[in-house]
Each structure stands twice: as structure tokens, then as C-alpha cells.
């Protein structure tokens, strides 16, 4: 169930930006495969899977250059 939701989210994210990079990070006991992180010139979001849901966390970045 969560795997299917993550696959749908992944497809939408990649459709929005075909040049982004997906990496698996933060391997832990509850997530031995790691947490997917999508980035393109900086982190965009992460996708955490749970038994019955997927949590997408958007990264907030500030551009301080003029």
C-alpha cells in the first residue's frame, strides 16, 4: 500500500522535473532501504514510508543572493 503510494509520488515528482536526482539516504532499522531524497541544485523533498502511508517532506531553501 505505501509502496504503491510512493511509486505514484515518485512518478509525479519526476514528471515535474525530469532532471532531478533520487538518492537513498538515512538508512535505519525502521527503514533499512533508506529514505528517498530528490534534489536538483539542492534538496527538493524526501519520502518516508510507513505501514499505511507515505510522508513527503518539502525542503525550504532561502536564496540570500541579490
Q: Which helix (H) or strand (E) holds 47?
A: strand 43-49
- Distance CA(27)–CA(11), nearest Å, equals 22
Which candidate, 1, 48, 8, places its Cα nearest to that of 24?
Answer: 48
**pLDDT one-digit tens code per residue, 20-30:** 999 999 888 87
The answer, yes or no, to whether residue 15 has pLDDT greater than 80, is: yes
- Distance CA(21)–CA(7), nearest Å, equals 15
**pLDDT one-digit tens code per residue, 29-64:** 877 888 999 999 889 999 988 888 889 999 876 666
Amino acid at each position: 500500500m505505501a509502496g504503491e503510494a510512493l511509486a505514484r509520488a515518485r512518478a509525479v515528482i519526476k514528471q515535474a522535473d525530469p532532471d532531478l536526482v533520487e538518492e537513498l539516504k538515512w538508512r535505519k532499522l525502521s527503514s533499512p532501504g533508506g529514505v528517498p531524497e530528490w534534489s536538483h541544485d539542492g534538496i527538493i523533498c524526501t519520502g518516508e514510508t510507513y505501514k499505511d502511508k507515505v510522508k513527503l517532506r518539502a525542503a525550504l531553501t532561502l536564496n540570500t543572493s541579490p
